[in-house]
Structure 1
Amino acid sequence: MVKSRAAAALAVAVLLLSACGSGGSETPSAQNSSQPRTLKLWHYESAEGAMGKAWAEAIKKFEASHPNVKIKFEAKGFEQIQKTASMVLNSDEAPDIMEYNKGNATAGLLSKQGLLTDLSEEAAKRGWDKLLPGGLQTTAKYDDRGVMGSGKWYGVPNYGEFVMVYYNKDLFDKHKVQVPTTFEQFTAAMDTFVKAGVTPLGTAGAEYPAQQIFYQLALTKAQKPWLEAFQSYKGKVDFHGPEFTYGADTFADWVKKGYIAKNSSGLKAEDMGVAFMNGKFPMMISGSWWYGRFASEIKKFEWGHFLFPGATMSPGSSGNLWVVPEKSENKDLAYDFIDITMSKDIQNLLGNSGGVPVAADPAAITDAKSKELIESFNKLTSQDGLAFYPDWPAPGYYDVLVAGIQNLINGSKAPAAVLDEIAKPYEDNLADIGN
Structure 2
Amino acid sequence: MHRITRRRSFRAAAIATIAITAAALTGCSASGSGSDGKTFTILQYEDKTTAQGQGWQLALDIFKKKHPDVTVKFQTTSFDGFRKNAKLVLGGNKVPDVVEFNKGNADGGQLASQGLLENLDDAVKKYGWDDKVTGSMQSFAKYDQQGKAGSGNWYGIPNVGEYVTFYYNKDKFQQAGIANEPTTMAEFTTDLQKLKDAGITPISSSAAVNQGFNQMWIWYSLVSAVADRKQIDDFMFLNGKVDFSKDPWKTGTKEFQDWIDKGYVGTELGGLNYEQANVNFLSGKTGMLIWNNGVFARVKDQSSFPWGSFTLPGANMSMGSSGHLWGVPAKSANKDLAYDWINTTLSAKVQNKIGDLGGLPLAGDTAAISDPVTKAYTERFDQVVKDDTLTFYPDYPVPGFLDFIQNNMSAMSNGNETADEYLSKLQSFYDDGKKTVDQG
TM-score higher than 0.5: yes
Q: Which residue of 2 aligns with 1:147?
A: 148
1:432 CA displacement: 2.4
| Matching residue within 305, 308, 314 for 2:309 | 305
| % identical aligned pairs | 39
Match of 1:195 among 194, 197, 218: 197
Structural mapping, 1:243-282, within 5 Å: 243-282=248-287
Hey, what's the Cα distance between the residues in 2 that align with 1:257 and 1:304?
Answer: 24
Distance 2:347 2:245 in 1: 46
1:128: how far off? Answer: 0.9
User: Corresponding residue for 1:205?
Assistant: 207
Q: Does 1:221 align with 2:226?
A: yes
Deviation at 1:93, TM superposition (A): 4.8
For residues 65-96 of structure 1, give each alpha carbon's deviation from its aligned partner in whole angstroms, at most 9, with x where no partner exists. 11011221222221212221122211235321
The alpha carbon displacement at 1:151 in A equals 0.9
CA distance in 2 between partners of 1:243 and 1:363 (Å): 36
Structure 2 equivalent of residue 69 of structure 1: 70
Give 1:240's aligned residue. Answer: 245
Deviation for aligned residue 1:171: 1.4
Residue 287 (1) aligns with residue 292 (2): yes
- Cα drift, residue 257 of structure 1: 0.6
Is 1:387 the counterpart of 2:388? The answer is no
Provide the alpha-carbon RMSD of the alignment. Answer: 1.7
CA contact (8 A) 1:181 1:309 kept: yes
Shift in CA distance, 238/34, structure 1 to aligned 2, threshold 3 Å = closer
Aligned pairs, how many?
402
> Compared with structure 1, are the counterparts of its residues 220 and 134 closer, same or farther at alpha carbon in structure 2 (3 Å cutoff)?
closer
* Distance (Å, rounded) in 2 between the aligned partners of 1:310 and 1:133: 27
Q: How does 1:334-345 map to 2 (within 5 A)?
A: 334-345=338-349
Aligned-pair CA distance for 1:176: 2.2
Higher mean displacement: 345-354 or 65-74: 65-74
Matches within 5 A, 1:12-411: 35=36, 37-177=38-178, 178-206=180-208, 207-298=212-303, 300-411=304-415
Give the structure 2 partner of residue 9 of structure 1. Answer: none
- Report the CA distance between 1:156 and its aligned residue: 0.5
Q: Deviations over 1:299-318 (max 9, x none)?
A: x1111110111212111111
1:429 is aligned to 2:430:
no
Query: 1:362: how far off?
Result: 3.8
Q: CA–CA distance in 1 between the matches of 2:347 and 2:226?
A: 40
Q: Is the 8 A contact 2:119 2:155 kept in 1?
A: yes
Please report how far the alpha carbon of residue 213 of structure 1 lies from its aligned counterpart in structure 2 after TM superposition: 0.9
Contact kept, 8 Å, 1:228 with 1:235, in 2: the verdict is no
Q: Deviations over 1:142-169 (max 9, x none)?
A: 1011111111110001111111111111
Which amino acid letter does the alignment assign opposite residue 186 of structure 1?
A: F
SS of alignment partner, residue 73 of structure 1: strand
Shift in Å, 1:173: 2.1
Q: 1:295 touches 1:354 (CA, 8 Å); kept in 2?
A: no
Amino acid at match of 1:249: K
The Cα of 1:434 is off from its aligned counterpart by 3.3
Cα distance between partner residues in 1 of 2:432 and 2:36:
50
Q: Provide the C-alpha distance between the structure 2 equivalents of 1:400 and 1:313, rounded to a whole number of angstroms.
A: 24
- Structure 1 stretches lacking a partner, 5+ long: 1-32
CA distance in 2, matches of 1:357, 1:434: 33
Deviation at 1:35?
A: 5.0
1:11 is aligned to none
TM-score w.r.t. length of structure 1 = 0.89
Write out the 4+ residue segments of structure 1 that deviate beyond 4 Å after TM superposition.
33-36
TM-score between both structures, scaled by the size of structure 2: 0.88
Q: Is the 8 A contact 2:205 2:269 kept in 1?
A: yes
- The unaligned stretches of length 5 or more in structure 2 are 1-33
Shift of 1:34: 12
**Paired residue secondary structure (2:423):** helix
Instruction: Supply the distance in 2 between the matched residues of 1:399 and 1:279 (Cα, whole angstroms).
Output: 30
1:86-122 Cα deviation digits (max 9, x unpaired): 2221123532112111111111111011111111111
Offset of 1:136 from its aligned partner? 2.2
- Gap change, CA 1:47 and 1:433, over 3 Å in 2: closer
Cα deviation per residue 1:305-333 (whole Å; 9 max; x = unaligned)? 10111212111111111011112222121
Deviations 1:364-405 (A, max 9, x none): 221222202112112322332111111011011000000111
Larger relative contact order (Cα-Cα within 8 Å, sequence gap ≥ 6): 1
The alpha-carbon deviation at position 249 of structure 1 amounts to: 1.9
